Structures are given as C-alpha cells and as structure tokens.
Structure 1
Amino acid sequence: MRKYFLTGLLILVPLAITLWVLNIIVGTLDQSLLVLPEHWRPKLTLLGFNVPGLGAVLTIVIVFCVGLLANNLIGNYILRLWEKLLHRIPVVSSLYGSVKQVSDTLFSSSGNAFRKAVLIPYPHANSYTIAFLTGTPGGDVKNHLVGDYVSVYVPTTPNPTSGFFLMMARSQVVELDMTVDAALKYIVSMGVVAPD
C-alpha cells in the first residue's frame, strides 16, 4: 500500500503544483482586464459569464503588439521619445534605467548572462556549488582585482530567484557540459533530479 500511495503522490503532486501555479499566473494576468474601461471588459456584461484566461490572452496580445510596433521605424522613434521622457523624471529614471539594463542583459539573445553553468568552490574551498556565468567585472571594480576574474551568480535552493553575486578568479571556475535548464532543475530539486 505504501508503494502505491507514494506512486500516486509522485504523479499527483507535480500535477497539482503545476495547476496551482498556472491558476496564479492566469489569475494575475486576468487582472489586466481592470485597466480597460468598465463597459469594454468582456465579462458578465458582454458574454453573460466570466471567461477565465481572457486577461492572460489580452496581456499576451498587448505584449506582442508592443514588440511588433517597437520593431518598426515609427515605433522605435516613439519608444526612444518615451525613454527620454522617463529619464527626465527623477526617481523613475534611476529605477527604470536599472530595470531596463538588467532586462536587456537577461533577455538579449546576443548576451552571455546565464548562458553557461559553472562549478565553483562555495561557501569554502572544500565544498562546491553550481553557479551561472554572468560576465566579467567592470568599472572601477576591475581596477582593484589582480588577475583574470569572472562574475558568477549563485542561486539559492529551492528558490533560484534569490542568490549571491560573486567575482571569482577564472582559474577557480569550472565550465560544465550542462545546459542552463538542466542546472536549474538540479538546483531547484536540491540535487534529486541529476542531469544526464
């Protein structure tokens, strides 16, 4: 009985967690309908019932349309004007600039951030963890480092969205023959799901 119960748990728990996360995401994206005027909201007034996921579809369409507009000459010009306006507002300029720089680095197809999984000695010389190569130290920091250094991000387990940023000697960093996705699964599963 114990074997069958554990097998059932192994099948149902990932399914339940996946459905729960999807429900949270779709519910959050459905809130995007609140930006529309009351009489435009395609809910009870137009359809007679609430359609779950309609806000998620609307959000995806808006994001796609903004990307489509930004990739042509007129849209690009409007985008530059918008960014100039945001950079003139005192608090908004520093916040927007920082977030834009991080998102450009993470989502750029030509960037090197999080493109390589590495093995590093952490938190001391006799233990190791998986980290992600994020680049090389820059600015005044590189003037104070003697030798060849790289920047790495060490995610925490089981929540990889928090972690530590370290600058380490390149000689201490071992590049792994492992995809970033496989490394993330390994980290999130606390080493239970080992990569092939």
Structure 2
Amino acid sequence: MSSASWKRDFASGLVILVPLLVTAYIIVWLYLALTAVPLPVDSQEIELWNLSLNVQEPLRVALTLVIFVLVVFSLGYLMRTTFGDVIESGIDRVMNQLPGLRVVYNASKMAVETVVSGADELQEPVKIETWQGMRMTAFKTGQTTDDGRDVLFLPTAPNITTGFVVEVDPDSYTETNERVEEALTRVLSAGFGEAEQTSIPVDVGADDEDEE
C-alpha cells in the first residue's frame, strides 16, 4: 500500500468518524445540561429485565423539552403581533447599547435566522463576475429595485451569515442548474465540499512516470 493510499484511507475514516463523535458529544452535553434543570420531578424507579432503572433524569429532560417547545411557540406567536414587534425592537435597542455583548447578540441572532429560514429564503443560485475573470456564487432574493435591477445575496465562505447585498442588471449574472443545497455546500465548505464531482482528478505524477 502506497503512502498516498493509506493517507487517503485515513482521511476518509476521519471524515466519517469525527462528525459522529462530535454529534454524540453534543447530544451527551445537552442531555446532561437538561438533567441539571431544577424541575420538580420526583425520583422514580422501574423494574426492567430484573434491573432497577432511575427514570428521574429522563423525565426531567422530557419535561424541559416540552416546556422549551411551548415557550418557543408562544414567543413565535407573540412576535407575529404588533406588540411582539415592539418588544423585539426594544430588546434589539437595549442589546445594541451594550458594548461587547451586542456583537455576540447580533451574531447569534443572525446565525439562528440563517439556520432556521436562510436556506428557504434563498432562491436560485447564480454566478456573478465580481472582478475581471473572477466569478462568485450568489443567490437570488426574489427582490428587484425600482430601476429594474435584481437584488442578489453574495455570501462569504465559510460563514454565510455575512456577505453583501448587490443590485445588478439581469444580464450581469449567469444562471446555473444547481440546487440551493449544492451551492450552499460549496460555500459552507469553502469550496472543499462539492456535492457532485463533475471531473475525475488526474494523477500528474503517474502520467509523468509512464512517459519516462
């Protein structure tokens, strides 16, 4: 087995294993954090296959999740009202007056908005030539200006919560046949995570050896 072969196998194994370990770690961390929530849940034990199991922690986790979901839905319903808009504007105004914390608040808010609804709001991916001979991935927003220009969102990589809103003529960008998920994969992975490979890499070194 050549050096390049075992390096490729090792990297492929890491690609599969590391995300699973990180996901499992986050799940365990969240579970332990939820079990620490001080809720009035009595300690109870059940017999299962001759084993005595304490169901206090699972009950506390389930109750915490139910309360969290109810609070989220209640706040979401409130935000659809005029009173909710006033509350949100007031919270934003107060948080933006706090040095340091306003950066964390705005960044986390933008990240949540992108994760929850960003991919749904982004429309067809397009290619726009920002400089001579250089193309970048942008997304249609479905909005147009008064003078007929299309409004595009040009995200940065790998953080798509930042970017530029550009107004261009309809003939200034090139439409593609990509899906939104494919374009987002490329941007989020900084170009390393193409969903579909359209070309086969050529081993230049092997070709040179054959020619010799």
Normalising TM by the smaller chain, what interval? 0.5 to 0.7
Q: CA RMSD in A?
A: 4.6
Q: Which runs of 5+ in 2 are unaligned?
A: 44-52, 96-105, 199-212
Give me the TM-score of the superposition, normalised by structure 2: 0.55
Measure, in 2, the Cα distance between the counterparts of 1:15 and 1:7: 13
Deviation at 1:179, TM superposition (A): 0.6
2:135 aligns to what? 128
**Deviations along 1:141-193, whole A, 9 cap, x unmatched?**
x45xxx42122222223333433322222211222111111112223251562
Query: Is residue 2:167 matched to residue 1:178?
Result: no
Letter in structure 2 aligned against 1:160: I
Measure, in 2, the Cα distance between the counterparts of 1:108 and 1:58: 30
1:114 aligns to what? 122
Deviation at 1:95, TM superposition (A): 8.2
> Equivalent residue of 1:177, what SS?
coil
> Equivalent residue of 1:40, what SS?
coil
Radius of gyration: which is bigger?
2
1:91 aligns to what? 90
> Equivalent residue of 2:128, what SS?
strand
Deviation at 1:24, TM superposition (A): 5.6
1:148 aligns to what? 148
Deviation at 1:94, TM superposition (A): 5.5
Distance 1:7 1:58, change over 3 A: farther
**Deviations along 1:60-116, whole A, 9 cap, x unmatched?**
65566568x67xxxx95xx369761562576316689x969x949x6399x7x2121
Deviation at 1:4, TM superposition (A): 3.5
Relative CO higher for 1 or 2, CA cutoff 8 Å, sep ≥ 6?
1
Distance 1:107 1:39, change over 3 A: same
Measure, in 1, the Cα distance between the counterparts of 2:36 and 2:84: 22
Structure with the higher fraction of residues in strand conformation: 2
Task: Kindly indicate whether the alpha-carbon contact (under 8 Å) linking 1:29 and 1:59 is maintained by their aligned counterparts in 2.
Answer: no
Letter in structure 1 aligned against 2:132: A
Give me the TM-score of the superposition, normalised by structure 1: 0.59
> Equivalent residue of 1:132, what SS?
strand
Deviation at 1:120, TM superposition (A): 0.6
2:17 aligns to what? 16
Measure, in 1, the Cα distance between the counterparts of 2:91 and 2:36: 21
**Percent sequence identity over aligned pairs:** 19
**Structure 1: which 4+ aligned runs deviate by more than 4 Å?**
48-51, 57-67, 80-83, 93-96
Task: Kindly indicate whether the alpha-carbon contact (under 8 Å) linking 1:86 and 1:92 is maintained by their aligned counterparts in 2.
Answer: no
Distance 1:16 1:87, change over 3 A: same
2:47 aligns to what? none
Letter in structure 2 aligned against 1:114: L
